[in-house]
């Protein structure tokens, strides 16, 4: 595997392992996890799944990669998402045990209309983290594109399900952060670069600019200094983005970063999946514990997908 292939492996395993670490305690409160912290890859709990079982976050990430193997075709991506929803395609155990409300609504709409450009929900209350959690493959797909082209693709792919501009902008922010890490920037530099690129995009459109207050914590440049009590970990896309950057900046290993994300509570698997992708990139695949990789369900299939995806770029 070449260098980019190694980065793909690091990002994707980093994401899926974060997801699997969080699945057993999804919806648990922070106060519960303070007393009973997750310290390893455990099984059962919320969904009664074996250790190493990943959820919708990883499934939809794999569907996006699988579709990109055939080139970028928006409706084909949405079709694979529907296959996941209806037929448990790219699931850990041939069973889809969770789905977000906005994602379910949008995929039902796509199933009827076959138009991924109009399937996503545009409402301000439909800004869950459901597109952010599956967007990582676009860092690799768009790395050599112009900013305009990259933004257009991120917007389209988020909008299959999450079409409000806040979700789109959160995905764009995350991809710029990921690309900086792929380019071997350290995490502080990557944070600066993502903030600068994000400000540039906001400046291109008045509707985008109006979203700036929602990204206040991120754009302060000082999010790492917030106390844990100022970091929320619900399913709201802004909370997930803030929590992810906060965990990445405040912890110094892959393990500490994803466990911190899980132990914030609430949307444990998704927060850990989102930051897990970034932490995988930052620390590298070799710094993800072998025991966690070995426990990950369908790890050989995931590895093969990463290799095929690397080859397709």
**Residues at the interface with Mg ion (CB under 5 A):** 55-57, 269
Give strand pairing partners of 128: 236
Which residue, 57 or 232, is less far from Mg ion as judged by CB? Answer: 57
Which residue, 242 or 269, is less far from Mg ion as judged by CB? Answer: 269
Residue nearest to Mg ion (CB): 55
Which residue, 99 or 224, is less far from Mg ion as judged by CB? Answer: 99
Which residue, 49 or 55, is less far from Mg ion as judged by CB? Answer: 55
Shortest reach from residue 26's CB to Mg ion, in Å: 7
Which residue, 26 or 176, is less far from Mg ion as judged by CB? Answer: 26
Ordered alpha helix ranges (H), the chain: 3-22, 30-35, 56-68, 74-87, 101-113, 137-141, 147-159, 165-182, 187-202, 206-209, 216-219, 237-250, 254-263, 268-283, 290-295, 299-312
Shortest reach from residue 25's CB to Mg ion, in Å: 12
Shortest reach from residue 192's CB to Mg ion, in Å: 30
Shortest reach from residue 151's CB to Mg ion, in Å: 26
Q: Which phi and psi (to 5°) does residue 236 adopt? A: -70, 135
Shortest reach from residue 222's CB to Mg ion, in Å: 30
Buried-state track 68-83, b at ≥16 Cβ within 10 A, e below 16: beeeeebebbbbbbbe
First to last CA, the chain: 13
């Amino acid at each position: 595997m070449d260098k980019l292939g190694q980065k793909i492996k690091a990002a994707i395993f980093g994401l899926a392992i974060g997801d699997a670490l969080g699945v057993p305690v999804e919806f648990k409160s922070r106060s519960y996890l303070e007393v009973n912290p997750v310290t390893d890859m455990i099984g059962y709990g919320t969904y009664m799944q074996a250790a190493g079982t990943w959820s919708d976050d990883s499934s939809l990430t794999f569907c996006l990669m699988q579709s990109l193997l055939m080139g970028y075709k928006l409706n084909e991506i949405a079709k694979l998402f529907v296959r996941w929803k209806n037929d448990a395609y790219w699931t850990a155990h041939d069973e889809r045990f969770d789905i977000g409300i906005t994602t379910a609504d949008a995929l039902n709409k796509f199933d009827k209309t076959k138009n991924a450009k109009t399937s996503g929900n545009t409402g301000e209350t439909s800004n869950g983290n459901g597109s952010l959690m599956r967007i990582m493959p676009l860092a690799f797909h768009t790395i050599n594109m112009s900013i305009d082209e990259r933004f257009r693709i991120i917007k389209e792919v988020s909008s299959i399900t999450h079409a409000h501009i806040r979700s789109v902008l959160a995905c764009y922010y995350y991809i710029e952060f990921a690309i900086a890490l792929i380019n071997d920037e350290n995490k502080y530099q990557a944070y600066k670069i993502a903030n600068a690129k994000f400000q540039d995009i906001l400046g291109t459109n008045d509707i985008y600019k109006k979203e700036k207050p929602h990204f206040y914590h991120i754009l302060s440049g000082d999010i790492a200094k917030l106390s844990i009590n100022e970091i929320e970990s619900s399913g709201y896309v802004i909370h997930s983005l803030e929590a992810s950057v906060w965990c990445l900046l405040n912890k110094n290993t892959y393990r500490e970063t994803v466990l911190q994300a899980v132990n914030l509570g609430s949307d444990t698997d998704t927060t850990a999946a989102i930051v897990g992708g970034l932490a995988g990139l930052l620390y590298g695949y070799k710094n993800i514990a072998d025991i966690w990789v070995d426990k990950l369900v369908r790890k050989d299939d995931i590895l093969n997908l990463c290799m095929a995806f690397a080859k397709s770029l």
